[in-house]
Homo-oligomer: A and B are copies of this chain.
Amino acid sequence: MNFLEERIAKDGIVKEGNVLKVDSFLNHQMDIELLNEIGKELKKRFEGKPINKILTIEASGIGIACVAAQYFGVPVVFAKKAKSINLEGEMYVAEVESFTHKCKNQVIVAKKFLGEDDHVLIIDDFLANGCALQGLIQIVQSAGASVEGIGIAVEKGFQSGGRIIRNLGYQLESLAIVESMDSENGTIYFREQ
């Protein structure tokens, strides 16, 4: 097991309905040392790629993206999930359907922060069905920018998001891929990488 798998095995909580809670260290309370380890590992996995911008989505992707960005020396842009009155000017908008919240969301990025010269690394904390991620990819493509890769902390390997993205030919690196979970005894099984 790598450092993140170890931490998930130690502090992740398995709930019925294939829910995995990592909110004590990743997406409500955040262990900044862990985020630094994730950043270092992402830098290693995307070594040599001409990344000049990191794109993430509010809210829980922002912490990982900002700490990781220090290893890439690039700015972070975070996509917003709903139209805010303070976000004016021209925007890229992608419609995505969320499975978790059972509603449609708009993923929004101001056009001035993404253009055809951008080589983008997309970072997020979680990948399950991949709706948010599909919205982010759509936005990068609308901008004429290129997706250099996608870095995820935790992927639920038993849901379809990761397979779809890999089938589309993207370099998707998930630092921990959960293959299955047993809510009776709390055991988490990871995919060998």
CB contacts (< 8 Å) of A23 on chain B: these are: 86-87, 110, 113
Choose from B19, B21, B25, B63 the contact partner of A63 (Cβ within 8 Å).
B63
CB contacts (< 8 Å) of A69 on chain B: these are: 30, 32
Tell me whether A77 is interfacial, beta carbon within 8 Å.
yes
Complex contact A70–B28 (CB within 8 A): no
**Given known contacts A19-B86, A66-B67, A77 and B113 CB-to-CB distance under 8 angstroms:** no
Whole-angstrom distance from the CB of A123 to the nearest CB of chain B?
Answer: 12
Band of interface residues on A = 35 or more
Choose from B25, B66, B100 the contact partner of A62 (Cβ within 8 Å).
B66
Complex contact A78–B66 (CB within 8 A): no
Instruction: List the B residue with the shortest CB-CB distance to A82.
Output: B101
> In the assembly, how many copies of this chain are there?
2
| A residues neighboring B (CB under 8 Å) | 15, 19, 21, 23-25, 28-32, 35-36, 58-60, 62-63, 65-67, 69-70, 73-78, 80, 84-88, 100-101, 109-110, 112-113
Complex contact B113–A85 (CB within 8 A): no
9 residue pairs, one from A and one from B, having the closest CB atoms: A58-B59, A63-B66, A62-B62, A59-B59, A32-B69, A29-B113, A30-B76, A29-B77, A62-B63
CB contacts (< 8 Å) of A73 on chain B: these are: 32
Q: What would 14 more interface pairs be, CB under 8 Å, given A23-B113, A67-B70?
A: A15-B88, A23-B87, A24-B112, A25-B75, A29-B76, A30-B66, A30-B75, A32-B69, A32-B74, A59-B59, A62-B63, A63-B63, A63-B78, A85-B101
CA distance A25 to B77 in the complex (A): 9
CB contacts (< 8 Å) of A80 on chain B: these are: 28, 59
CB contacts (< 8 Å) of A77 on chain B: these are: 28-30
Complex contact B28–A75 (CB within 8 A): no
